[in-house]
Amino acid sequence: MSTTFQLDTSTSRANPTPAPMKRLTVPKIRARKTDGETGEPLVMLTAYTARQAQLLDAHCDLLLVGDSLGQVIYGLPSTIPVTLDMMANHAAAVVRGSYHAVVVVDMPFGSYEGSREQAFDSAARLLKDSNAAAVKLEGGEAMAETVAFLSQRGIPVMGHIGLTPQAVNALGGYGARGRSDAEADKILADARALDEAGAFAVVVEGVVEPIAIAVTEALSCPTIGIGASARCDGQVLVTEDMLGMFERVPRFVKRYENIAETISQTVARYADEVRSRSFPSSDQTYQPKS
């Protein structure tokens, strides 16, 4: 039995708690695809906090501590300003709040592109500081040598091709990729390079569906689609998007709930009760003992 950290709702403190099951491992995730087929698709969602991880963990195979936290948590305009410190701190919280899913942490922009050695130092720090199981980095053929370097040194790597948010300035926006023959060929070549380099899975983002299917069929490792195809070996979404925390979401997101409206209505009720002095009542205050 593994050990995780459970939030004590009476104190909001994290306390070590026996976990009811062993955590999934990277080899088990990789083994879900055999002879080019994945029987049960992999489920992945983003998580940035311990409490969020607790709520998602039982339902997911993987939790991604995405650099999307720059926009979702910090209100930044893109993922570019995200730092290693941000990623390490949030990943540690997600690990403490989970016991089942494999926790993967994004390597932020500028922390791995300079050299294989820089990538190893950054990845090693992330895993040491957070106890996450794997890192994810963006880029295809250009990063294959780095992926191999990390994999050979005991750091599991998830790849990321197609629409790569850290390269948004070079790509010129967040549009779908693979519409031209040249771009489609490059995406397929990028995917194969990562697979051959030892990536245990590859995120395929914002790629036209026929290319996403071709990539999935070409790789021995699982593909995780986002704005790609249901025929990928798994799917990932930003949790806040699928829960309806934002007014606008990307076209490829299915909004499963409207949590933002629920929060707004609940806070409005609280504000009304405070202003009418009906909260707190005797049920929420301490009275002298008789």
Of 168, 170, 165, the closest CA to residue 137 belongs to: 165
Candidate list 205, 240, 261, 273, residue with the active-site label: 205
| Cis status of the peptide bond prior to 280, with omega within 30 of 0 | yes
* Three-class DSSP category at 276: coil
Phi, psi for residue 88 in degrees, rounded to 5: -65, -45
End-to-end CA distance of the chain: 48
* Three-class DSSP category at 204: strand
CB atoms within 10 A of CB 275: 9
Is 240 catalytic? The answer is no
| H/E element, 6 | strand 3-8
Tokens in use for 190?
Answer: 């990028």
CA distance 166 to 143: 14
**Active-site positions?**
205
